[in-house]
Amino acid sequence: MNKTKIQLFALSAIAAATLAACGGDNNTTPAVSASETTSIARLSTYNSGVYDASAAEIPAYDPISQRLFVVNAQAGAIDVLDLSDPENPVLEQTLTTNALRAGSVVNSVAVANGILAVAVEDATKTNPGLAAFYSTETLALLGSVAVGAQPDMIVFTPDGTKALTANEGEPSDNYQIDPDGSVSIIDLSTPSMPVATTASFAGFDAATLRAAGVRIYGPTNTAGGSVLEGASAAQDIEPEYITISQDNTTAFVTLQENNAIAKIDIASATVTDILPLGEKDHGIAGNEFDASDEEDGAINIRTWPGVRGLYLPDAIASYTVGGNTFLVTANEGDARAWGEDNDAYFAGDSTLGFVEEFRVKHLVNANGWAGRLNDDLPPQLNSLAQGGLLNPLVFGYCGATASSPGACRADDMLGRLNITWTMGYQKDVNGNPVLYDAATGLVSPTGTRIMYDKLYSYGGRSFSIFDSNGALVFDSGSEFERFFASDDCMVGSARNIPCKDFFNSGHDEGNALDSRSDAKGPEPEGIAVGTVGTKTYAFIGLERFGGVLIYDITNPNSPFRVDYLNTREIWDMEPEDATTPAELAAFGDLGPEGLVFIAATDSPTGEDLLVVSSEVSGTTTTYSLNLPR
């Protein structure tokens, strides 16, 4: 038995012995004591026992029944946990929606006024979905109503009188069907007869939005093939997450792939504005990042002129300061990748998918990109030209010339970085690519190369605060990665493992230092905002590196980090190598997805709590909070 296995079995034995001493069941991990100065400490963990199948995604808490409702996407259902004793959560039952729709999937839950709201995706995701409503005490179905395709998130207005769903409307995997994205606003005056009204994006013009900086770029399929930027605005817009102003009047919706936020008047169910979020300049001080996963174990956080980050936020929350609403986003990043498992697509049939992600080294290979055919070359890219160049006026710092990428293409430079090929290249007045001669690097009508002035990577590797009109107030810049590379950062429940030893590791990997640097880094995905006394805090879940960052955002212009806790215990072994549930449980939480803040006034303990569900480990962990008030 190797050293790693011995460590794993030892941790498992300790966990099992502690469970027996506390009288818990096999799915509950007891508390870990913390010092009085700790801002956040684990109280307990409920373990579904299901690894890497999204068995714990989105939590919602009901103060009336003291129940926690957790989306178990693996089961297409909701796990109902008794949280009256937060140190010993107990699974009461699993609530399914098959009686409403056979084969349906639960995507999201929310709670208000004793009502559990559930976003239900149809077995065929491009079909309209449902919003269903249950009593949090009896779990009886109160009513349901049809909503748009693929309701991905559901939320109540602060007064609990309405619920809203973000109907993402993703295309089918083969891109033959692309339903409109929308937001449904549901009146719950009579919960047994909910009434839905649709806020549509059909009135927006794709070209106008593109000119304003909104990413409207998906294709449409015709008899002649795939047409880039051919989708309508409504088809291309994919609502992801919703937050609502405290006065119940306005919804703010992240349009993740579009790098924008929609503003909706709730009373009239009207999209009043679509706010482009712009780009993050990784070439300036304060916005540095590590761009490669192959640097011989080195951490290389630096500026990269010519590289821009698209914020592409997933979760969004809001709070009010001085009567003004501020929006807090987790800038995860997300690429469209449909048909990536279809050999016919990569063999050249552009009607069977759309993959926008490509590595820089392949994009600017001096030999062109024909060598990637039948591998990972998107046919829509191949239709533009035969290869790419880097503008030497921008990328000369890493050796680019008019006809060669130089050292920019190296694996320890920009070569490994995943970017979107759909942006950054030169276009003429008609929107067509400007062509360059491969040998001379000069503009030529018979050229076979396109020239990139900018490279756009995914996500901001940060969290941001915007005002209600979409203006950037604050961004955490490079702080996440700099902190994880520093001596100040420790992971594990005991905070005794240096973060830098496993910097930018993935949630399902072992000994994976730097493995996510070429993608989206630590990947902030979930966010919750809570008020403690006179202070407001943001809790940010990191999907890949794991753990929760806590920031004091009381002053939206100058947030600061308060604490960080990552309860992953085993980092030098892949979780899939665990052979028993006890071994797997010893790893701790992997892949935080959803977070919910429970204020002291609603908490079963009378103290502030935070609940985090982690989709890879299938765990739901409750934390006690001891934050400055």
Residue-wise pLDDT for 383-400, tens only, equals 999 999 999 999 999 999
* 593 close to 619: Cβ distance less than 8 angstroms: no
Pairing of strands 387-390, 449-452: parallel
Asked if residue 5 has pLDDT above 50, the reply is no
Residue 127: predicted pLDDT: 98
CB distance 221 to 178 below 8 Å: no
User: Are 52 and 74 in contact, with CB atoms under 8 Å apart?
Assistant: no
CB distance 169 to 235 below 8 Å: yes
Tokens of 443: 């503009």
Query: What are the tens digits of pLDDT across the range 543-589?
Result: 999 999 999 999 999 999 999 999 999 999 999 998 888 888 999 99
| Mean pLDDT, the chain, whole residue set | 93
According to DSSP, the β-strands at 357-359 and 418-420 are: antiparallel
Residue 214 DSSP symbol: -
| Rounded (10°) CA dihedral 488, 494, 498, 503 | -100
**How many whole angstroms separate alpha carbon 328 and alpha carbon 81?**
29
d(CA 593, CA 56): 8
pLDDT the model gives residue 74: 83
Q: Is 97's pLDDT higher than 80? A: yes
* E strands present in 505-571: 524-532, 535-542, 548-552, 560-565
pLDDT-derived band at 28 (thresholds 50, 70, 90) equals low
178: Cβ–Cβ under 8 A, 6 or more apart, which residues? 126, 169, 171, 172, 218, 220, 231, 235
Rounded mean pLDDT of 36-50? Answer: 86
Return the sign of the alpha-carbon dihedral for residues 571, 576, 577, 579.
positive
- pLDDT at residue 25 in the model: 42
Model pLDDT for residues 191-205, shown as the tens digit of each residue: 999 999 999 999 999
Q: For the chain, what percent of residues have pLDDT higher than 90?
A: 90
Which pLDDT score, from 0 to 100, does residue 27 have?
60
Model pLDDT, residue 581: 83
pLDDT tens string 234-261: 999 999 999 999 999 999 999 999 999 9
449-453 mean pLDDT: 98
- Euclidean distance between CA atoms 542 and 374, whole angstroms: 34
Which of the four pLDDT bands, split at 50, 70 and 90, describes residue 492?
A: very high
Q: Which of 6-10, 164-168, 227-231, 308-312 has the lowest mean pLDDT?
A: 6-10
Tell me the mean pLDDT in the region 80-102: 96
pLDDT the model gives residue 22: 35
**What mean pLDDT do residues 268-280 have?**
98
Burial tier of 445 (Cβ tally within 10 Å: 0-12, 13-18, 19+): exposed
Mean pLDDT of 319-331: 98
